[in-house]
Amino acid sequence: MKVLKFGGTSVGSAQRMKNVAKLICNGEKKIVVLSAMSGTTNSLLEIADYFYKSNLDGALEHIITLENKYRDVVEELLTTEEKRQEARSILSSHFDYLRSFAKSVFTIFEEKAIVAQGELLSTSLFQLYLEEIGENSILLPALEFMRIDKNAEPDNAYIKQHLNDLLEAHPGHEIYLTQGFICRNAYGEIDNLQRGGSDYTASLIGAAVNAEEIQIWTDIDGMHNNDPRFVEGTKPIPMLHFEEAAELAYFGAKILHPTCILPAKLANIPVRLLNTMEPEASGTLISTRMNKGKIEAVAAKDGITAIKIQSGRMLMAYGFLRKVFEIFESYKTPIDMITTSEVGVSVTIDNTKKLDEIVNDLKKLGTVTVDHDMVIICVVGDLPFENVGFQSKVVGALKDIPLRMISYGGSNYNISFLIKAEDKKHALNALSQALFSEE
């Protein structure tokens, strides 16, 4: 069985939903994961923000705008009065639910319940359309099987058991439709897998059902060799190794959720990135196969903070790094990049919620310097150290740009640089020019 995920743009209008239906109705049994229609999750977050600020008029105004948009979608998507009526009453229940938050105390829990409405709406409407055109489809509610634990990590055993139970309870369908992104947490509350999390849903489902392939359908013809939002003339990469794709996703290639490759890699399920607007394009196949010796792509991760800790005590000492890492661990703040010298260590983080506390504690170990508004540039490919010369090529491309940190050797797949945010576009373009202009 294959798992197919369609992102926000792919289901962004009634016409696009109809196109998706054409792509998936081919007689094969499959699981289809949908995101919210594009723009919806942002609108829902905006509505939540008005509720937070106790601006009920602002929230209600945005709810009406969104509701009107969906009412138009229903009229365009469905043709029979019966299905339209069903859809209208589904819309009423979701939008009345949104309005009901005007009466309650507003916290992060309410925000998560609001933000979940996008995927609930898109899948309900799409299911009605599939029924209207006579497709054998069933909607499996993600909130009944998708779950995260106390550390916000997927509860794989729970997901596997509950999803497979649901599939067994409903045999004989061609399309098993479900919501991306949304889940329940360890306390049974509505939660989510973070922005862009529908990709993660697809790979978790793929692993849970041991799918033959996970397809991520989006608005571009696969993983490109650089970020098309900042560099012109980027090209799709036909084939990537799981490790390469995981590095690119983690280090900012927005086409994939940062952690969505891991479940597929562990279960050895190939992931194919495909374009809904150009379904014949071959896209990118992510698997255990790799192009030997090739630099494949460049990505950038924004919003990085660098922290340097310098101490004479580090010289020849053991245990210093452990103390540094323990501080980050105690504040549950992951470190992305790390570089060391005999007298100091620099690390980067992207979650700055506990920055003040971390810096306070680090000051007990040495002199601390913090640089905000930095970007990690990550160059990915088959890069073992025996592959002589690639480092100089990469560093040479960045010769005009101040490099705050350089990291290589942690894996055979990546060399990373920390630069100022203002140099990002220049760096990405310089790397494309140096690495890919002859391809």
Question: Which region among 51-59, 78-86, 147-155, 212-220 touches ligand ADP (by CB under 6 A)?
Answer: 212-220
Extract the tokens encoding 409.
């050797």
By CB under 6 A, residue 36 contacts ligand ASP: yes
Neighbours of 331 (CB within 10 A): 15
Instruction: Tell me which residue of 129, 108, 126 sits closest to 51, measured CA to CA.
Output: 108
Q: Which helix (H) or strand (E) holds 51?
A: helix 40-52
Pull the structure tokens for residue 420.
């100022």
* Among residues 3, 220, 245, 378, the one that binds ligand ADP under rule CB under 6 A: 220
Query: Binding mask 19-38 vs ligand ADP (x if CB under 6 A, - otherwise)?
Result: ----------------x---
DSSP state for residue 141 in the 8-state scheme: P
The answer to whether residue 224 forms part of the interface with ligand ADP (CB under 6 A) is: yes
In the list 9, 41, 124, 203, the residue contacting ligand ASP (rule: CB under 6 A) is: 41
Question: Is 159 or 299 the residue whose CB approaches ligand ADP more closely?
Answer: 299
Tell me the per-residue interface mask from 287 to 326 with ligand ADP, x by CB under 6 A, - otherwise: ------------x---------------------------
Cα–Cα distance, 187 to 195 (Å, whole number): 21
Q: Does 8 bind ligand ADP (CB under 6 A)?
A: yes
What type of residue is 233?
Answer: G
Determine which residue in the list 2, 7, 287, 428 makes contact with ligand ASP, applying CB under 6 A.
7
Q: How far apart are CA 205 and CA 32, in angstroms?
A: 10
Residue 40 CB, nearest approach to ligand ADP (Å): 11
- The residue among 132, 144, 23 whose CA lies nearest residue 87 is 132
d(CA 349, CA 357): 14
Using CB under 6 A as the binding rule, whether residue 286 contacts ligand ADP is answered as: no
Site string for ligand ADP, 324-363 (x = CB under 6 A): ----------------------------------------
Please report whether residue 229 would count as binding ligand ADP according to CB under 6 A: yes
- 1-9, 152-160, 203-211, 407-415 -> range binding ligand ADP (CB under 6 A): 1-9
HEC assignment per residue over 330-341:
HCCCCCCCEEEC
Residue 382 sits at φ, ψ, to 5 deg, of -85, 95
Per-residue interface string for the shown chain with ligand ASP, residues 386-415, x marking contact by CB under 6 A: ------------------------------
Supply the minimum distance, in Å, between the C-beta of residue 146 and ligand ADP: 17
Cα three-residue angle 53-55-60, rounded to 5 degrees = 125
Q: How far is the CB of 224 from ligand ADP (least distance, A)?
A: 4
Instruction: List the single partner that 347 binds among ligand ASP, ligand ADP, Mg ion, none, CB under 5 to 8 Å by kind.
Output: none
> Residues with Cβ < 8 Å from 190, sequence gap 6 or more?
109, 112, 113, 116, 143, 182, 183, 184
Alpha-carbon gap, residue 369 to 248, rounded angstroms: 28
Cα–Cα distance, 194 to 216 (Å, whole number): 17
Residues found near ligand ADP in the complex (CB under 6 A):
7-10, 35, 196, 218-220, 223-224, 227-229, 253-255, 299
Interface contacts to ligand ASP, rule CB under 6 A = 7-8, 35-36, 41, 118, 180-181, 195-198
